[in-house]
Amino acid sequence: MLTILTETSSAANQFLFEMRHKDIQKHRGRFRNNMKRLGMAMALKMSEKMSYRSVEVETPLGSKLMKVLSEDLVLITILRAGSAFLEGFQEIFDDATIGFIGAYRMESGDSAPAIEMNYKALPETAGKTVILVDPMLATGHSMIDAAQLISESGKPARIYYVSAVAAPEGVNYIREKNKLPYEIWTGSLDEKLNASAYIVPGLGDAGDLSYGAKI
């Protein structure tokens, strides 16, 4: 299942517009805030599809039967680019357990550069709903490699692959290689990958735009 958030009209379109804009995106704080707000908007939309249970709540004046989220959620992001995006999901799913995976592209000039994963701090994931957050779904390799690491900590009941922007190549790679019950959620499905495996039109390097260029 593929859900594209900006196919329907909402404020998420404005957030992503500003993140793409070559002048507006130069303001790091604004870029990070828009990434966070996009994460919040996506989390709210995702919550509409999740499982709930009825719980009676006591107020100062009486009681009311209400539906509350019943899924055991784990939020996992791929550092460093995913940090601001993760914050948006944390605002909505504030009781979720959090995990982190460190990854970087090993630039080689190939169309599908190798992804090196050199750090993980993962909670128990067996039987839980995992939301894997990474702003850019390009080749899909980092998402699938991360899912493999997550499964080693315990096979999730379901995994959501979540991005701000995705390329068709990455979506197809997940569909081909994923071995878990899953959904793919993205802010936008863009045109393609270029020869360097960057998303076109995309928005640039989300990590550099959020935190400054690395050396």
CATH for 115: 3.40.50.2020
Q: Is the pLDDT of residue 211 over 70?
A: yes
Number of domains into which the chain is organized = 1
Task: Grade residue 118 by pLDDT with cuts at 50, 70 and 90.
Answer: confident
Task: Grade residue 143 by pLDDT with cuts at 50, 70 and 90.
Answer: very high
**Residues 30-69 pLDDT 10s:** 999 999 999 999 999 999 999 999 999 999 999 999 999 9
Beta strands (DSSP E) in the chain are 2-4, 52-59, 62-69, 73-79, 97-106, 114-121, 129-133, 136-137, 158-166, 182-189, 192-193, 199-200
Task: Grade residue 144 by pLDDT with cuts at 50, 70 and 90.
Answer: very high
For 70, the domain range is 2-211
Task: Grade residue 80 by pLDDT with cuts at 50, 70 and 90.
Answer: confident
Task: Grade residue 102 by pLDDT with cuts at 50, 70 and 90.
Answer: confident
Q: Is the pLDDT of residue 108 over 60?
A: no
pLDDT of residue 79: 85
Lowest mean pLDDT among 54-63, 97-106, 109-118, 159-168: 109-118
Upper half-sphere CA count for residue 193 (Cβ side, 13 Å): 21
Q: Is the pLDDT of residue 175 over 90?
A: yes
Task: Grade residue 112 by pLDDT with cuts at 50, 70 and 90.
Answer: low
* Positive or negative torsion for Cα 7, 196, 84, 28: negative
- Cβ–Cβ contacts within 10 Å for residue 143, how many? 29
pLDDT of residue 107: 60
pLDDT of residue 165: 98
pLDDT of residue 215: 77
